Structure 1
Amino acid sequence: MTSAITRVVKVTAAETAPNTRRGGDIRVTLSPRSVGCTSGFGGVLTLEPSDHVTEHYHPYSEEFIHLVSGRLEMSLDGERIALGPGDSLYVPIGVRHRLVNTGETTAHCAFHLSPLAPRPELGHVDTEEALRPEMDDPDVGGTP
């Protein structure tokens, strides 16, 4: 059985609105809002040295992170896991996680979450105060 691609949609991270509310520069590139997908969403994260993404969890989605460059440390329910270039990490549904750049260079990673929450505003639960609460959240629930 073959599947036919009915529509190709390319999204460039540089043309995507940054989400800096919880730390770093998070860009949700592929989402129901941007391309009409129905099974999940994903994008890229840039994190400067010593910067972090505040702790949160996803009550409906698994998260998949792949570090392209830099050094990161992910806390999963308080357990710290070091990540280097080429490492991938799975974050199960409901697990609190916080990401910190522990290196001396900018870190770049890609992420994907699925399945989608019933509504975007239900997809992300903060357990730590946002670093920039005044910032708009361009794609609610769309952060690693």
Structure 2
Amino acid sequence: MAETEALAARVALVDVAPSRRQGGSTRALLTPASVGATSGFLGHLELAPGEVVTEHYHPFSDKYLYLIEGSAVIRVNGEEVPLHSDEALLITRGQRNRIENRGSGVMRAVFHVAPLAPRPELGHVDTEPVPDPGCVPPRVGG
């Protein structure tokens, strides 16, 4: 391997502290801050039965959501979209979205948000009160 080639970056879920600011447990895994990502970031979301991720939107980014386990109802601009394990959903930039676990089991999902906003603080806009406003969201920007 040439000296200019970088090794692949690996991050373990257990090594990333969850954010509970918007509800549930969100972990930003592959980010500009954690691995030097330059085009987007990847994360993991877990919701217990009855938990939600409060409504928000990304003005500069699309969100790619893949359900690993369980089921969810995603409200996109107020319309309900049911999602089950092994299904994916694209939420385009500017679309308000809220993720709800109405099932009886844990919901686990992987998400990717891209492209990055010009600055981290511009990348996410809350449109309803968050359950833990004192929790600092993970820094995903450069």
Deviation at 1:20, TM superposition (A): 0.4
What residue in structure 2 maps to residue 38 of structure 1? Answer: 38
For the residues of structure 1 that align with 2:56 and 2:5, how far apart are their CA atoms? 35
Relative to the length of structure 1, the TM-score reads 0.92
CA RMSD of aligned residues (A): 1.4
What residue in structure 1 maps to residue 52 of structure 2? Answer: 52
What residue in structure 1 maps to residue 18 of structure 2? Answer: 18
Say how many residue pairs are matched. Answer: 138
- Structure 2: 5+ residue stretches without partners: none
**Does residue 71 of structure 2 align to residue 66 of structure 1?**
no
- Secondary structure at the counterpart of residue 14 of structure 1: helix
Does the 8 Å contact 1:21/1:133 carry over to 2?
yes
Deviation at 1:46, TM superposition (A): 0.5
Task: Give CA-to-partner distance per residue, 1:78-118, whole Å, 9 cap, x none.
Answer: 00000111010000010000000011001000000100000
Deviation at 1:6, TM superposition (A): 2.2
For the residues of structure 2 that align with 1:5 and 1:113, how far apart are their CA atoms? 25
For the residues of structure 1 that align with 2:87 and 2:108, how far apart are their CA atoms? 12
Does the 8 Å contact 1:123/1:140 carry over to 2?
no
For the residues of structure 2 that align with 1:22 and 1:91, how far apart are their CA atoms? 17
What residue in structure 1 maps to residue 137 of structure 2? Answer: 137
Residue 76 of structure 1 aligns with an amino acid whose one-letter code is: V
- Structure 1: 5+ residue stretches without partners: none
Task: Give CA-to-partner distance per residue, 1:8-66, whole Å, 9 cap, x none.
Answer: 11101111021100001000000000000100001100100010000000000000000
For the residues of structure 2 that align with 1:63 and 1:5, how far apart are their CA atoms? 29
For the residues of structure 2 that align with 1:6 and 1:122, how far apart are their CA atoms? 29
Relative to the length of structure 2, the TM-score reads 0.93
Does the 8 Å contact 1:24/1:51 carry over to 2?
yes
What residue in structure 2 maps to residue 93 of structure 1? Answer: 93
- Secondary structure at the counterpart of residue 82 of structure 2: strand
Residue 46 of structure 2 aligns with an amino acid whose one-letter code is: T
- Secondary structure at the counterpart of residue 80 of structure 1: strand
